[in-house]
Chain A
Amino acid sequence: MGLADIIIKFILVVIIFAISLLIALYSTYAERKVAAFFQDRIGPNRAGPFGILQPFADGAKMFLKEEIIPTNANAFLFIAGPSLSILTACIGSAVIPWGQTLTIGTHVIDLQVTDINVGVLYILGVVSLGVYGVMIGGWASNNKYSLLGAIRAASQNISYELSMGLSIIALLMVTGTLSLRQIAEQQHGFWANGYFTWNFFKQPLGFLLFIVCAFAETNRTPFDLPECETELVGGYHTEYSSMKLGFYLFSEYINMFISSAVMATLYFGGYNFPFMDLIGPGNLVVILGIVALFAKIFFFIFFFMWVRWTIPRFRYDQLMDLGWKGLIPLAIANIIITGVVITFLN
């Protein structure tokens, strides 16, 4: 690996980091706009044309707010909580293949930070790390609402990680690899050998389980019990103010972006799009692929918001009921069915 490659990788990392932050920033704006449209309103429209400067105004507000660390809080862990939360949210993007390889001059640029052969496991690991930020922050606040929110978050994430892992196992039985790059390559185009190439058409039930678990892992409605305002004030971030609160809110949106990217890559063909072979190899098809991937990601982010403004929150026992008695048996059944079908097809 030459110096040029290292520089290119570094630039790629910075670009992906910047894009995740930018998308998270504008997700807050989109959330408010989408909510407004669903409720027959206009939404923020004063800061700049159509209110597009609103996220920057909100960000500036977050920075300028007074920073409060409660007297009885554990100051180190209180700061560590949101830091860990945003860190784990950001590092998930490292293994996602954003496109095929770009060729500029003699350099072949791989549009993926690193293609580790256990990419799916890495994603699962990062997702399960995410709960530490919430847990530590909630515990360090020394507030009963925060602690309850943190406990809820922890038990919810553990419950839904199980069925998320099980739904991915069925997917891995189909793909036979853990590398996200290879999984994306297997879904090349849209139609091959008389069947759809995208994994969604091979694992519809698996996708359904995965998206439900993704909602629970990102703490989005209808599974936003860790921060449900009506019962727990603010949940785990009750005591937080200023940019530390901003980090928690931000990491939720980055998580949403990353899990949308993972869903698009695992089940909806990633950067592949129908009739891509007609354009032929070259940089054009690569760029169109990136556009296709981001279109899928934006659709999923929109879907997250669409669901948020449609469905009311689950009660906590219903949440546990759905997770343990509904999704896990379904996921195991999905694995068995997938295994039987694969055995008979071969």
Chain B
Amino acid sequence: MEPLSNKRKVLEHKPLNFWERLYLPAIAQGLSITMKHFFRKPVTISYPEQRREYSENFRGMHSLKRDEEGRERCTACGLCALSCPAEAITMIAAERQKGEENLYREEKYAAVYEINMLRCIFCGLCEEACPKEAIYLDGDHVPADYLRKDFIYGKDKLVEAPLNQ
């Protein structure tokens, strides 16, 4: 058959000659190769102490943002939950009461906002869908845990720390 590329290599299956059957030259060659590696710098990155540099558009854990006055931006419109292909986001909306204007930016806010981190695929569609620029996947890795229920993150873990604190 005509070769399709120039990468084709015909292997010869000759019987081993005397030196090859002795194994020793090949073993010495192998030992010298491993010895070279012995003195080579390890490629290991000791993870918790050292970190590999991430890409600028790395998508990690979600955070719910606050505006410049420290009010929660989320208005519980549900577009993020709608856009989520993994159906990881649920929320319960509530009406802003009088005297809560310093807490919530819009008249409606999310009383409960939960993301199931085991379902989330970190695609970033929620941050694209959000009309209020309220959710961003700009956090770290989601840490490991023991129980499935502990991977459902509520507002306590998602909302940004308040300003001036």
Say if A and B assemble together: yes
**Contact yes or no, A40 B42, CB < 8 A:** yes
**Contact yes or no, A42 B42, CB < 8 A:** yes
- Judged by a CB distance under 8 angstroms, whether B35 is at the interface is yes
**Contact yes or no, B37 A38, CB < 8 A:** yes
- Give the docked Cα–Cα distance between A45 and B42 (Å): 13
- Judged by a CB distance under 8 angstroms, whether A64 is at the interface is no
Contacts of B40 in A (CB 8 A): 40
Other contacts beyond A38-B34, A40-B42: 19, CB < 8 A: A34-B38, A36-B42, A38-B37, A38-B38, A39-B37, A40-B37, A40-B40, A41-B42, A41-B43, A42-B44, A306-B31, A306-B34, A307-B31, A309-B34, A310-B30, A310-B31, A310-B33, A310-B34, A311-B30
Interface size class of A (residues with CB under 8 A): 10 to 19
How many B residues face the partner with a CB closer than 8 A?
15
Option from B31, B35, B43 in Cβ contact (under 8 Å) with A40: B43
Contacts of A309 in B (CB 8 A): 34
Question: What are 23 A-B contacts with C-beta separation under 8 Å?
Answer: A36-B42, A37-B38, A37-B42, A38-B34, A38-B38, A39-B37, A40-B37, A40-B40, A40-B41, A40-B43, A40-B44, A41-B42, A41-B43, A42-B42, A42-B44, A42-B46, A45-B46, A306-B31, A306-B34, A307-B27, A310-B31, A311-B27, A311-B30
- Give the docked Cα–Cα distance between A309 and B34 (Å): 8
Contacts of A40 in B (CB 8 A): 37, 40-44
Minimum CB–CB distance for B96 against chain A, Å? 50
Option from A36, A37, A310, A322 in Cβ contact (under 8 Å) with B27: A310
- Chain B 41-74 residues near chain A, CB threshold 8 A: 41-44, 46
Contacts of A36 in B (CB 8 A): 42
